[in-house]
Amino acid sequence: QQQVKQSPQSLIVQKGGISIINCAYENTAFDYFPWYQQFPGKGPALLIAIRPDVSEKKEGRFTISFNKSAKQFSLHIMDSQPGDSATYFCAALHSGTYKYIFGTGTRLKVLA
């Protein structure tokens, strides 16, 4: 119940294309869903986050889509650029526990 399942494990996209990464969870007590971006040699950095009372959130080229009934959420990267090549992690938090559960990560490569 504490798991967050992330797919795909790796993704190759052409420059200008759309990158889509999916996550699914079981615990309905989760109330905060962030996405993190990690470059080699660096710690993860918060990219965008959503709460379950919203179905979509957009920040620049990054959009989270959230489906509460299906217990799924996804990250869409529009107009993908080579600089977006990184590992992306979804996460889920039950605020009262102070404990983030992370997906296993998606390694994205955007071809120039």
Partner 1 sequence: KAGVTQTPRYLIKTRGQQVTLSCSPISGHRSVSWYQQTPGQGLQFLFEYFSETQRNKGNFPGRFSGRQFSNSRSEMNVSTLELGDSALYLCASSLVAGSDTQYFGPGTRLTVL
Contact residues for partner 1, defined by CB under 8 A: 6, 31-32, 34, 36, 41-46, 49, 51, 89, 91, 93, 95-105
- 107 and 6 Cβ atoms separated by less than 8 Å: no
d(C-alpha 85, C-alpha 57), whole Å: 22
19/106 with CB nearer partner 1: 106
Q: How far is the CB of 2 from partner 1 (least distance, A)?
A: 9
13/50 with CB nearer partner 1: 50
Query: For 27, how many CA atoms within 13 A lie in the half-sphere containing its CB?
Result: 19
- 80 and 94 Cβ atoms separated by less than 8 Å: no
14/39 with CB nearer partner 1: 39
